[in-house]
Chain A
C-alpha cells in the first residue's frame, strides 16, 4: 500500500480550482459571507454548522416560511397518530448561532456578481451561495393535476404543511367503505419509502375507524423498492386485504370531477386522491444555472464540496442534488455538514477533506407502535467521483416496537440537530 497522499488538485478537476479561487479574495475582504437558500434539513443544518465550526464566517439564511414543517412524521399526522403541531418547529434558535434569518424567497441569482435577489426585492451579496431549496412538482406531467389541486380535490401532501392537514381531513371525512388512492412517481424523488409508510398509517387509521375501506397504491416503482419485505410483512400481518399495491403503474391523468385516476393501465375510482407528482430541484436552481443533469431536473455537485461543477461559488444540498444518495432529511443534514466543513477549510486556506462519508438512516412506521429502519453508509471515492455504497447496509425485514422507540428518538434528535 502506498502512503503517498493523492493529488487532490488533479483528482478533483475543475471543481477544485474553483474551490480554491476565493481564498485570496477573502483574505483581502475580511469575513466571508455565505448565503444559504432554504431552511430545511439541508440549509438550516449548513447554516448552523458553518457558525459552530467557524464563527468568522457570516451566514445569511433565506427562508420564506416563518416556521419549519417537518416532512418526517408528516405521514403520522395523515394517519392520525400524531397532531399537526408536533411537526411544526420554530426557527427561533437559529439566530442564537449568529445566523441572519431573512424571511423571503430567493427568486434570482447573478452568479457573476454573486448576488441573490429575493421576492421582496432585496439584493444579498455572497462569497459562497448554498442552495438547499428542496423540490418543486412537475404537475404538468399529469393531465388534470393542476385543476384538481386548485379545486382542493387532488393533494400531494409531499411538502409538509397545509396539504398534510388537508389530506388528513379528507380521510376523516371519507365514508367507511371508501377508496383512498395514493400514487407515487418513478424514481428519483423525495423520500422513496414515504408512500409505503403513508399507506401503512392510513391503513392503520382505516382499520380502527373505517374497516371496510380500501387503499389502492398506484406505484411508479417496479416494486415496494424501499424496505420492501418489511412493508409487505406488515401489510399482511396488520392490514390483510386492505392495501392493494399495484407496481409499475404510472399515473398520467386525474379528473377531480368524476374522481377518477388514470394510469398507463387502468382507470381507478377514488374517494380521496393523493398523487405525488414527479419532482425536480426548485426553480432557484434553474435560475442559478445549476439544474444541469441530463434531464435538466437535478443538480450535479462535486462530492467533496457540494459545489456545482459548472458554476463556481454555488453549492447545492439535499433533495435538489443529482446523485445516487437517497433524497431524505437525514442525507440532507449529512450533506450539509460535509459542505459546511469543506467551506470552513476553504475559507481558512486548507484543503477540504477529500474522503467524505455519508450515513443514511431512515425509519418508517408501519403502525402506531411499530417501525423499521434502513441504514447505509456511502463513502466518496475521489477516483470514481461518486459516493460508493458500503457493504453491510440495508433494511430490517420486520418492523417492531423497539424501532418505533428509536424512530421517535430519531425525530427528536434530527430536529434538535438541525434547529435546536
Chain B
C-alpha cells in the first residue's frame, strides 16, 4: 500500500484539513479508509488523529503553528520541506535539540499528513 493510498482517498482527494477551524463533520462523508499504526480506520478517525497530533505541535510551535519566538513557525511552510525535515531528523541526517528526540515517535505517513496540514494554514 502506498503512502498516497494511506492518507488520500481513492479519488485522490486529500483528506487533510485546511485549518483546525474546519469541522471534522465535513470529513466524515469521505468514506475511504486510512491507516494508523497499520490498521484501517474510517476517514473521520484519521482526520481526528492528524488534527490532534498537529495540535500537539502547537504547544511548542504556537497555536496553529504560528510561533511567538525562536521556535520556528510551521504554518504555511512548504509541505515537501516539512516532511523531508522530519525524515531527516529521523535518519539523523539533520540535527536538532528536540525534534530529533521526537522523530522516531511518529510514522512517515503521519509526517506526510502533518506536513499537508501545516502547509495549508495561511
Query: Which of A12-20, A271-279, A340-348 lies at the interface?
Result: A340-348
Among B41, B45, B55, B101, contact of A49 (Cβ-Cβ < 8 Å) = B55
Contact B51 A341, beta carbon cutoff 8 Å: yes
Q: Are A413 and B24 in contact (CB under 8 A)?
A: no
Q: Are B24 and A344 in contact (CB under 8 A)?
A: yes
Task: Kindly state whether residue A31 has any CB partner on chain B within 8 Å.
Answer: no
* Contact across chains for A413 and B52 when beta carbons are under 8 A apart: no
Within 8 A of B (CB), among A345-367: 345, 348, 350-359, 361
Interface hit among B8-16, B66-74, B76-84: B66-74
Residue of A nearest to B64 (CB): A417
Partner of B98, one of A3, A354, A373, A413: A373
Stretch in A161-169, A242-250, A288-296, A388-396 with 4+ CB within 8 Å of B: A388-396
Alpha-carbon distance between A245 and B63 when the two chains are bound, in angstroms: 39
* Interface residue A420 (Cβ < 8 Å from any Cβ of B): yes
Q: A371-420: which residues lie under 8 A (CB-CB) from chain B?
A: 373-379, 390-394, 396, 402-403, 405-406, 408-410, 412-414, 416-417, 420
Q: Does A147 contact B (CB under 8 A)?
A: no
**At the interface with chain B, which of A84-92, A192-200, A331-339?**
A331-339
Kindly state whether residue B3 has any CB partner on chain A within 8 Å: no
A357 touches B71 (CB 8 A): no
Q: Is B85's CB within 8 Å of the partner chain A?
A: no
| Minimum Cβ distance to chain B for residue A76 (Å) | 15
| Residues of the B chain whose Cβ atoms lie less than 8 Å from the Cβ of A258 | none
A54 touches B41 (CB 8 A): no
CB neighbours of B98 from chain A (8 A): 361, 373, 375, 406
Query: Is A257 an interface position by the 8 A CB rule?
Result: no
CA distance in complex: A337, B1 (Å): 30
List chain A residues, Cβ under 8 A from B20: 52-53
Q: Assess the B97–A406 pair: CB atoms within 8 A.
A: yes
Complex-state Cα separation, A38 to B33, whole angstroms: 37
Q: Which of B28, B59, B103 contacts A350 (CB 8 A)?
A: B28
**Are B52 and A341 neighbours in the complex by a CB distance under 8 Å?**
yes
Verify if A1 is at the interface (C-beta below 8 Å from B).
yes
Q: Would B97 and A359 count as touching, CB distance under 8 A?
A: no
Contact A410 B39 (CB under 8 A): no
Q: Is A236 an interface residue (CB 8 A)?
A: no
Q: Which residues of B contact A416 (CB under 8 A)?
A: 62-63, 68
B60: min CB distance to chain A, Å:
6
Q: How many Å lie between the Cα of A54 and that of B25 in the bound state? A: 9
Secondary structure call for the A interface: mixed
Flag B96-110 by CB within 8 Å of A: 1 or 0 each.
011011111110000
B57 to chain A, nearest CB (A): 8
A417 touches B59 (CB 8 A): yes
Closest to B70 in A: A405
| Contact (Cβ within 8 A) B61 A345 | no
Contact B60 A410 (CB under 8 A): yes
Q: Are A393 and B39 in contact (CB under 8 A)?
A: no
B56 touches A357 (CB 8 A): yes
Q: For residue A406, which residues in chain B have a CB less than 8 angstroms away from its CB?
A: 60, 69-71, 97-98
Contact flag A379-B105 (CB < 8 Å), given A333-B59, A344-B24, A353-B48 = yes
- Partner of B40 from the list A3, A49, A344 (CB cut-off 8 Å) is A3
Docked-complex contact B104 and A402, CB < 8 angstroms = no
| Interface residue A156 (Cβ < 8 Å from any Cβ of B) | no
Looking at the assembled complex, report how far the CB atom of A68 sits from the nearest CB atom of chain B, in whole angstroms. Answer: 16
Complex Cα spacing A344 to B44, Å: 11
Q: How far is the CB of A75 from chain B (nearest CB, A)?
A: 19
Inter-chain contacts of B59 with A (CB < 8 A): 330, 333-334, 359, 361, 410, 413-414, 417
Add 6 more A-B contacts to A375-B101, A409-B71 (CB < 8 A). Answer: A350-B48, A392-B101, A406-B60, A412-B68, A413-B61, A413-B68
Q: Which residues of B contact A (CB under 8 A)?
A: 1, 20-21, 23-25, 28, 33, 35-42, 44-45, 48-49, 51-53, 55-63, 67-71, 97-98, 100-106
The interface of chain A, by Cβ under 8 A from chain B, is: 1, 3-6, 49, 52-54, 330, 333-334, 337-338, 341-342, 344-345, 348, 350-359, 361, 373-379, 390-394, 396, 402-403, 405-406, 408-410, 412-414, 416-417, 420
Q: What are 16 A-B contacts defined by CB distance under 8 Å?
A: A3-B39, A6-B39, A337-B52, A337-B55, A341-B48, A341-B52, A341-B55, A342-B48, A353-B36, A353-B48, A355-B39, A359-B105, A377-B105, A396-B97, A406-B98, A409-B60
